[in-house]
Structure 1
Amino acid sequence: MGGRKLKVASVATALVMTGAFAAVAAARTHGSAAPAKAAAKYRIGLVLPDLSNLYIAGIRDGAQAQAKKSGVDLLVKGTNDAAGQTNATLAYVGAKVNAIVVDAIDGKAIIPAVKAANKANIPVVAIQSNVYGGKTATFIAGREDLAGKYIGQDAVNWCKKYNPCKIGIVEGIRADQSGATENKAFRAVVGKVPSIKIVGASETQYDPAKALNLASNFLTANPDLNYIYAWWDPGAAAAVKAIQAAGKLGKVGVGAQNGDCIALGLVIKGHQTQTSAFFPSIIGSQGVISAVSAVQGKTLPKYIEAPVLSVTTKLANAWLAGTSQPPAKLRADIMRRLKEAKSGNCPTK
């Protein structure tokens, strides 16, 4: 997912705008090729997964806000079907848009559509999930390995109170490269602590109902379970439900990634101890900025690293209380999300 993402310090752990982001800004100013037409006339086609997913909706919202700011016409199509994404991309090629931005569900299935765009000289910008064929102007995403590292650090901190410290892992789909990368990084961190024991790990196909069942089984088989790591926040929310049902709310640590509204609300309450927050609105915004630069013939970095921020219960409440501040370049975004989460008025789409 989100995959999805530095400074490690007691105040915050974040990758704020990297040099790659700065390079995009420089390209807008110092690009060698003159634009073929005014940016206000550009049409950009955005292809996303299912827009009912809050994270994906965040990418759309960020792209729409940037499109308005840049004066471009943004067309949006969201579908949770690889064939539907291919058809949407081909439709944009047929409509002769100036650029295409795509978050591919299947980086291989989308290749023919990307190649069709290449043949039509339409730049393609990949966001969130990479494309494994054809030519793309750039790839914009957070680093899943950092997300896993941050979750691992939270688990290590939680486990200082226990010896041994037992951890259960709620996996998504092992064939999902982003989840596998995050999982590998998590295991690398906790694997350095001899007292930590992983007592179980199983796939759930990113299904919260299966995640709830798995977490419940972990707790039944291991009454002294200390921590649950879920590959994604809805899986963590399911784990929290299982922990609550077992009468152990606040006694079992829970870490995951995404930083959605529900997860942030659980983190604030201390029911979930950490989430590695991604910034979908920033990814969407940078997708539009990069698309415009590509249309104008400017060279972009092969990879643009989007930010990831570790949000723990301690940090979330300190930021809300004003006793500490998140990184300046992420402050407005994460504070808006934390306040929304604390109010309980989480968006539904």
Structure 2
Amino acid sequence: MKGHSFKKTILLLLMSLLVLLVLTACGSKGTTSGTSGSGTATATQNQSKKIRIGVTMSSIDKFLSYVVDAMQSYAKEQGIELTVVDARNDASTQLSQVENFIAKKMDAIVINPVDTEATKPVVDAAKKAGIPLIGVNRRMDGLTCYVGSDAYQSGQLLMEYLAWKAGYKGNVAIIEGTLGSEPARLRTQAIKDVIAKHPDMKIVADDTADFLRDKGMDLMENWIQAGKQFDIVASNNDEMAIGAIKALEAAGKLSKVLVGGIDATPDALQYLKEGKLAVTVYQNAQDQGKRAIEMAIKAAKGEKIPEEVMIPYETVKPEDADKYLAKWQ
């Protein structure tokens, strides 16, 4: 009996030990699962953290206001936080804005530079902070990615059409945008290069109006008062072209002058329909704004992005006005 009882006791101890081992294993699995669940929750929180992007624009003129609208619309769709500031054509102000974005630890910065040839401090600050820098509309050195168009191409398309329309002869007045900006520099160079191909064409006036309508009007009034004689006005953008048209119209000289601009804004397309503007060149503001924010989001997530996203220009003749007006609706 005693032997049987002893065996029974041993058996019970072995069974108890087995149960204890099973329970310990289950407990260990439960702890691992709990840790994994916590890690998943943390990863989810990181993924759901709202991306913050800072945008500094050289100025918010008529065309760039459409770029900003497209940025804000796309940012809203993507659920990201977008802060847009206006440097008012002041490079030192823009540097301060970038430094402020860095201090706020923005995930990416989008810049439309004031002076494309004096951006080293901005680039250095962004690189030091490890924040992606996306350029829009104006190209500069040191960008993570540039989103925009070939400014030289736009000036070329503009002047080639005006030269053809004028029979490859006549005096030309050039209205430049903000000095130091890439669009003003490259568009003006392209205009001059086209003119140089035609011996019966020459430049008789060339000055800046900062891409603004009222300054374009003032400049044209000054040229008229100074007795400048020209057959063609090649403007770096539509706003300055419209200002020039207003001054020429007031002086009763518009019918004798071909005026062309760049951007194909809704206002310019209306002037084109009315026969006051000879030609414009379409620059896709919606695509520039949307793609700039798209690249900024990808860069903020650590995704690989291209060095540039190019959006081509298109010549817009009077008969195409309605077609391009529809693109703005």
TM-score by length of 1: 0.72
Could you say which residue in structure 2 is the equivalent of 1:137?
Answer: 144
Shift of 1:182: 0.9
Considering only aligned residues, what root-mean-square deviation do their CA atoms show, in Å?
2.8
Q: Distance in 2 between matches of 1:57 and 1:153?
A: 28
SS in 2 for 1:250: helix
- For residue 261 of structure 2, give the secondary structure of its aligned residue in structure 1: strand
Q: Aligned pair 1:216/2:207, yes or no?
A: no
Structure 2 CA distance for partners of 1:177 and 1:97, relative to 1, 3 Å:
closer
Matched, 1:169 2:186: no
- Structure 1 residue 36, shift from structure 2 partner: 10
**Number of matched pairs:** 283
| Contact 1:227 1:252 survives alignment (8 Å) | yes
2-side partners of 1:310 and 1:138: how far apart?
A: 26
Say if 1:172 and 1:48 are closer, same or farther in 2 by CA, change over 3 A: closer
Residue 135 of structure 2 aligns with which residue?
126
Match of 1:102 in 2: 111
One-letter amino acid matched to 1:191: A
> What is the match of residue 335 of structure 1?
326
- When Rg is computed on C-alpha atoms for both structures, the one with the higher figure is 2
Percent identity, aligned pairs only?
23
Q: How does 1:53-92 map to 2 (within 5 A)?
A: 53-80=61-88, 81-92=90-101
* Greater relative contact order (Cα < 8 A, sep 6+): 1
Letter in 2 for 1:67: A
Q: Is the contact made by 1:49 and 1:56 (CA closer than 8 Å) also made in structure 2?
A: no
Structure 1 SS opposite 2:143: coil
Contact 1:159 1:196 in 2 (8 A): no
The answer to whether the Cα contact below 8 Å between 1:35 and 1:296 also exists between their aligned partners in 2 is no
Q: Distance in 2 between matches of 1:336 and 1:310?
A: 14
1:122 partner SS: coil
Instruction: Tell me the distance in 2 between the aligned counterparts of 1:217 and 1:231.
Output: 22
**Superposition pairs for residues 251-290 of structure 1, below 5 Å?**
251-290=256-295
CA distance in 2, matches of 1:35, 1:291: 21
Counterpart for residue 196 of structure 1: 201
Change (3 A) 1:164 1:297: closer
TM-score by length of 2: 0.76
Structure 2 residue identity aligned to 1:266: Y
2:314 corresponds to which of 293, 309, 314: 309
The DSSP-based 3-state class of the residue aligned with 2:75 is helix
CA distance in 2, matches of 1:221, 1:79: 34
Q: Does 1:182 align with 2:151?
A: no
* Matching residue of 1:299: 304
Counterparts in 2 of 1:44 and 1:200: CA distance versus 1, 3 Å: closer
Q: Could you tell me which runs of 5 or more consecutive residues in structure 1 were left unpaired when the two chains were aligned.
A: 1-33, 320-325, 327-333, 340-349
| Counterpart residue type for residue 107 of structure 2 | N
Query: Does the C-alpha gap of structure 1 residues 263 and 102 become closer, same or farther in structure 2, counting only changes over 3 Å?
Result: same
Q: Stretches of 4+ moved more than 6 A in 1?
A: none
The letter of the residue matching 1:171 is E
Give distance in 1, aligned partners of 2:293 and 2:178: 30
Q: Residues 38 and 54 (structure 1 numbering): CA distance in 2 closer, same or farther, change over 3 Å?
A: farther
SS of 2:277's equivalent in the other structure is coil
Deviations 1:154-211 (A, max 9, x none): 2122112xx8433222334554442121122122223333333333333445532432
